[in-house]
């Protein structure tokens, strides 16, 4: 007798820097289908000069997602992925000690130098293999310890944001390894907490919970939440909690030699490896080794991404000019090619605020023509991002000794045909764009692996590739972009 396929339903909750959504993923043994059931904004709140995440509001939205999901289908499990580096602190009674602070808050300014005074830069990198950025968790903790010693003395447990939400759901205090690897507190080779680093920086090892691998079942939805929402118990799974690594799990790659570009508020460009790459060259180029599902290493660089466009659009909206992203792309197509460039990673573009003004000022400061319209600003952003991707791809190749013919572009940035086309031309590679919902699909796939429904990551990627639309962009103007690259390097040097 033929065995009937049993449909599995999982709830994937993905929260980014500006919004969150809940999706039910359904697997019939061959194809992953998914449907969005709830979407909500993620609005940071500034109080007395400090930028906070509204973590309680986000918890409410997660609960609403559970309620809606349970009314829609029989849900087997739930998992949350979010951005990296930020954390929540619990006291000895397990209570949240305050709203987590946003990584764009200014409290970490200057902490890099202080950290290097305590632990040399070379030795710091030799242990962690993580790109130095002042937003990293280790520097946030150092700033907190310096500013509020009484607060830090009372911390019983530090939980990364996806782990904090999992704790709210099932009570488990764990550190899922992909999120933990963004903290710059792990030993990259042993994949364990670096007590040497913690001791040197004055951080208590006791406040960091047990590390668990991506795809670990950590408990069941608490009875209190089940009663509150009138839902049945379901498994809580720690997927690749850092959204980049959830997206990586969904990259429909068929071989080992490929580049990936997870393109959202942040762009993360790199390749996948079996072991970390730590040497003088990777330190010089400030590249990172992040741990993903199956203990794979994402050897990558963090680049400011669509943040530039999002902030520009927000500014124009505040002035009464509402544009969709598609409209902005069309306006940019009418602007002159290669009129001006910016370095997306320049510190001037990091804080929120009037992004168009800062882009104009950067161009004038570097002796370029000032962009005069919305279309010219968007064209400047897209071309600059594509050029930055080229520069980063060159760095990755320099370190690995490999040349890559394919780049898998994942996430929201793939909705921009212009950016995909520019990336192919700038990097001189075939860009395979999609899936757009890579983070959600990766979250779903890892849950299905944890449930025993999919054998392994390779099979999950094959299923995702068969379940998704992938658009191929070939380089058509590579020579033209190669000539313009010299100008980009000159103005961003």
Which residue in 14, 243, 329, 345 is the catalytic one? 243
Residue 155's H or E segment, with its range, is: none
Nearest of 343, 338, 386 to residue 362 by alpha carbon: 343
Q: Are 17 and 244 in contact (CB under 8 A)?
A: no
Residue with tokens 């573009």: 349
Q: In residues, how long is the chain?
A: 493
Nearest of 261, 263, 266, 218 to residue 241 by alpha carbon: 218
Residue 187 is a catalytic residue: no
Nearest of 135, 224, 164 to residue 13 by alpha carbon: 164
The C-alpha torsion from 227 through 42 and 161 to 115, rounded to 10°, is: -160
β-bridge partners, 52: 45, 101
The burial of 322, by beta-carbon neighbours within 10 Å (0-12 exposed, 13-18 middle, 19 or more buried), is given as exposed
Q: Are 456 and 449 in contact (CB under 8 A)?
A: yes
Q: What is the spatial distance between Cα 451 and Cα 460, in angstroms, rounded to a whole number?
A: 13
The burial of 242, by beta-carbon neighbours within 10 Å (0-12 exposed, 13-18 middle, 19 or more buried), is given as buried
Computed on alpha carbons and rounded to an integer, the radius of gyration of the chain in Å comes to 22
Q: What is the spatial distance between Cα 466 and Cα 252, in angstroms, rounded to a whole number?
A: 9
Nearest of 135, 19, 22 to residue 87 by alpha carbon: 135
Q: What is the spatial distance between Cα 370 and Cα 354, in angstroms, rounded to a whole number?
A: 15
DSSP labels for 23-58?
EEEEE-SS-EEEEEEEEEE---EEETTEEE--HHHH
Q: Are strands 45-47 and 32-41 parallel, antiparallel or unpaired?
A: unpaired
**Positions marked active-site:** 243
């Amino acid at each position: 007798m033929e065995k009937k396929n049993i449909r599995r339903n999982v709830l994937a909750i993905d929260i980014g820097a500006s919004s969150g959504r809940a999706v039910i993923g359904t697997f019939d043994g061959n194809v992953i289908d998914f449907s969005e059931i709830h979407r909500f904004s993620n609005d940071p709140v500034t109080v007395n000069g400090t930028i906070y995440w509204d973590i309680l509001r986000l918890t409410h939205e997660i609960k609403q997602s559970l309620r809606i999901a349970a009314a829609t289908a029989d849900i087997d499990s739930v998992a949350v992925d979010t951005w990296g580096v930020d954390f929540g602190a619990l006291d000895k009674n397990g209570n949240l000690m305050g709203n987590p602070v946003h990584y764009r808050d200014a409290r970490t300014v200057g902490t890099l130098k202080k950290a290097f005074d305590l632990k040399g830069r070379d030795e710091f990198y030799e242990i962690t293999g993580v790109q130095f950025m002042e937003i990293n968790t280790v520097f946030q903790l150092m700033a907190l310890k310096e500013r509020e010693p009484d607060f830090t003395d009372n911390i019983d447990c530090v939980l990364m944001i996806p782990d904090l939400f999992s704790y709210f759901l099932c009570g488990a205090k764990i550190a899922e390894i992909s999120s933990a690897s963004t903290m710059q507190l792990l030993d990259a080779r042993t994949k364990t907490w670096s007590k040497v680093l913690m001791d040197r920086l004055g951080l208590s090892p006791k406040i960091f919970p047990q590390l668990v691998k991506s795809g670990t079942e950590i408990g069941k939805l608490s009875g209190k939440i089940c009663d509150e929402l009138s839902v049945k118990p379901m498994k809580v799974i720690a997927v690749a909690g850092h959204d980049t690594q959830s997206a990586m799990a969904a990259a429909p790659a068929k071989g080992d030699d490929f580049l990936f570009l997870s393109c959202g508020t942040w762009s993360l460009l790199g390749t996948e490896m079996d072991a970390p790459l730590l040497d003088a060259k990777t330190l010089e180029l400030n590249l990172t080794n992040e741990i993903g599902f199956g203990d794979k290493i994402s050897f990558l660089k963090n680049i400011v991404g669509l943040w530039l466009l999002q902030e520009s659009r927000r500014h124009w909206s505040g002035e009464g000019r509402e544009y969709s992203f598609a409209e902005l792309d069309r306006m940019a197509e009418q602007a002159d090619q290669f009129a001006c460039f910016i370095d997306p990673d320049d510190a001037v573009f990091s804080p929120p605020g009037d992004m168009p003004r800062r882009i104009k000022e950067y161009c004038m400061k570097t002796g370029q023509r000032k962009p005069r319209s919305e279309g010219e600003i968007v064209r400047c952003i897209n071309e600059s991002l594509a050029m930055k991707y080229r520069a980063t791809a060159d760095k990755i190749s320099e370190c690995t000794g490999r040349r890559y013919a394919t780049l898998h572009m994942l996430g929201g940035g793939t909705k921009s045909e212009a950016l995909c086309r520019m990336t192919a031309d700038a990097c001189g590679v075939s860009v395979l764009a999609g899936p757009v919902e890579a983070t959600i699909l990766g979250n779903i796939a890892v849950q299905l692996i944890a449930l025993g429904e999919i054998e392994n990551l390779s099979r999950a990627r094959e299923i995702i590739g068969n379940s998704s639309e992938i658009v191929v962009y070939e380089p058509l103007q590579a020579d033209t972009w190669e000539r313009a690259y010299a100008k980009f390097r000159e103005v961003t040097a």
